[in-house]
Amino acid sequence: MTIDWTTIRQDFPILHQEVHGHPLIYFDNAATSQKPRHVIEALVGYYERDNANVHRGLHELSGRATDAYEESRRKVAQYLGAGEEEIIFTRGTTEGINLVAQSWGRANIKMGDVILVTEMEHHSNLVPWQMLALQTGATLKHVPVTDEGELDLDQLDTLLTEQVKMFAFVHVSNSLGTINPAKELIARAKAVGAVTLLDGAQSAGHMPVNVRDLDCDFYAFSGHKMCAPTGIGALYARGPVLAEMPPWQGGGEMITRVQFESSFYKEGPARFEAGTPDISGAIVLGEAIDYLEALGREHIFQHDSELTAYALERMAEIEGLRIFGPRLNRGSLVAFALEGAHPHDLTTYANSFGLALRGGHHCTQPLMRKLKVPSTTRASFYFYNTREEIDRMIAILQAARTFFAP
C-alpha cells in the first residue's frame, strides 16, 4: 500500500494557514495532534443530530447516542486487541492512571510494598503513585536512565523484586523519544508477581499496539494525541484485575441499587464511568480510530520513523545543538538544546516564523535534573508532516544560532 502523505495533509484544515506571515509548521504533536475534517464533521454531526444522554433514555436520540457510544468502545477494544468489557472511557491518560492508583492501588498496595516507575516518566505517571505511596506507606522507586537516554536495564534485577506490586512505565518517552522494550519489561515484572501499567500516550496513535501480546494489566492513552478531541481517552484493564477493583467515583449509572445505608455497583466498565460521560468525545474517538486504521498504524510508524531519522540527520548539521535521547529505536520526536538560547526564547523565536515547537520541562522534571538542563526544546512529528517542513525548521534554527550567538 502506497500512501500519498501530501494528499493526506488536505484532510487537516488547520494546517493551511499562515502564522506571523509564514506558513504554519506544526511540530507540537506530542502535546496534541491536529484533527482531520472527517473527525471535526463527526463531532458537529453528533450535536446536530444525536445529542442526548446515554444509557438512561428510552427515546430515539438517546438510543442512537448510546449505540454510537458503545460502538466506539468496541472500536477502542479492537484497536488495542482487548475485550469491550475491558475498556473504560476516561478524560485521557492522566485520569486513567489516577483511576488505577486510587482504585486498584488503594485496594492492593500496603505498607512495605514497592511501586516501581522509571526516571523518564511524565508527571502523570509519577505524581499519582507518589500520592498513593503517601496514602499507603508504600515505597516509590525508579529505574534510572542511561546517558544515552535508555532505561538502565542492568539495574532492573536489583529493583524488580517480589516487594514490587506495581511497575508503571511509559511506552514511548515524551521527552527523549525512547521506545521502551515494553513486552520484555512486562514479562520480567510478571515473573515476580507485579502488576503492570503502560503509559501509552505517545504510542497509541503512532504504532500498532496489542495489549494481549504485550500482556500488560493496564494501558492508558489520550485521544487528543491521535486525531480525536481533547478530554477523551481510554483505559484498558485486564478482565480478572478489573473484576476485583472497587469503584473510584460514585454517582449515577455506575450503580444497580442505592439505599441510604449502602449502594450496589455494576460490573466494570460501567462501575468506573460515574455520571454523564464525554459522549461526543467518545463517539468521535471511534471516528478517529477509523481514520487511523484506514491509513494503517504500521504505515504511520514507518512514515514517522523516516521523518524523525531525517530530522536527526539535518539537525546534526547545526553547531552548538545538543540532541537528547537515543539515536535509534525512537519515537517521532526530537528534544534538543541550542547553545546560548533558553528553550523558551528559542520556541518564541521559532514561533515568529510560523514554527510551532514546545519549550519546557515537558512534565518530566526529574528527568531534566538527570540531564542537567532546566528544560529542552522539542519538535514532534506526525504523519501529516513533511521533509520540506523539516528543511524549513533547519533554516530557522540556523538563523536562531546566529541570533542567539554570544
For 103-122, letters b (16+ CB in 10 Å) and e give bbbeeebeeebbbbbbbbbb
CB 397 within 8 A of CB 376: no
CB 254 within 8 A of CB 272: yes
For 212-234, letters b (16+ CB in 10 Å) and e give eebebbbbbbbbbbbbbbeebbb
384 phi and psi, to 5 degrees? -90, 0
Known catalytic residue at 227: no
Of 363, 368, 390, 393, which is the active-site residue? 363
Q: Give which of 161, 173, 111, 121 is closest to 324, Cα–Cα.
A: 173
Set of cell numbers at residue 150: 535508555
Q: How far apart are CA 401 and CA 25, in angstroms?
A: 19
For 123-146, letters b (16+ CB in 10 Å) and e give ebbbbbbeebbeebebeebbbebe
Instruction: Just list the catalytic residues.
Output: 363
